[in-house]
Amino acid sequence: MTTQKFAAMLRLAMHNKGYTIVDIARETGLSHSTLYKIRDGNRVPAIQTGAKLAEVLDMPVLGLSVIEMRTKQCIICTGTYVDHGRQNTAKCCGVKCGRSLRQRKERNASTEYYGRLHVIARRRMDKYTRAVLAFCKACEPEGMCRRASCELRPVSPLPLKESARSSTVAPIVASRGGRTGSAGAA
């Protein structure tokens, strides 16, 4: 049943009994605005409200219709439950499924959070890489890094010039006493 059908049944019952919104408000203790919203099909009444309306209008089908409208399927175990609804927010049939749903949401939120952090870190790294590349190209317009001792060398995307490589190898060779190969090569 939809709220529109329920509203039509309510209007019919009110007409048959000759009741107005003011009369029902007085009998049930509900506010005028709540009753107008229910009558116009803009609100699903709570179970207790449906029971009061059914009693005042002497139409039990109103109470059963509210229960039918408020019967939902649990999104965790697919069982059915009745949402007694003050704000119509229940999505689970019980505590166990509710806990499971919260854990699922927390996992999804943390995955989403860390995924966003990864994207932010990647953007920053790309930005820094572009900045280093721009600086290196300004320093070395030919696109080759000349000095192996440059403090930007560990992050520079430019290749090291061959002469710079040999200048870093020569002191190592000299420190070994001129030996460059393995022990068997002498």
pLDDT digits (tens, 9 = 90+) for 20-32: 999 999 999 999 9
The domain boundary residue, chosen from 22, 48, 82: 82
User: Which residue has tokens 């870190």?
Assistant: 121
Number of domains in the chain: 2
Do 7 and 76 fall into the same domain?
Answer: yes
Query: Can you list the positions of beta strands (E) in the chain?
Result: 71-73, 80-82
- Domain span at residue 152 reads 97-173
Tell me whether residue 145 is exposed, middle or buried, using C-beta atoms within 10 angstroms of its C-beta: 0 to 12, 13 to 18, 19 or more: buried
Do 14 and 77 fall into the same domain?
Answer: yes
State how far the Cα of 74 lies from the Cα of 156, in Å rounded to an integer. 55
The reply to whether the predicted model has a pTM over 0.85 is: no
Of 45, 42, 76, the C-alpha closest to 62 is 45
Please, which pLDDT band fits residue 182 given cuts at 50, 70 and 90?
A: very low
Do 56 and 109 fall into the same domain?
Answer: no
Buried b (16+ CB within 10 A) or exposed e, 22-35: eebbeebebeeebb
Do 8 and 62 fall into the same domain?
Answer: yes
Do 16 and 55 fall into the same domain?
Answer: yes
Asked whether residue 15 carries a pLDDT value surpassing 90, the answer given is yes
The domain boundary residue, chosen from 82, 110, 125: 82
* CA 179, chain centre distance (Å): 63
What does the block give as tokens for 8? 């039509």
Mean pLDDT to the nearest integer, 71-94: 77
Do 10 and 77 fall into the same domain?
Answer: yes
The domain boundary residue, chosen from 82, 117, 134: 82
Mean pLDDT to the nearest integer, 97-121: 80
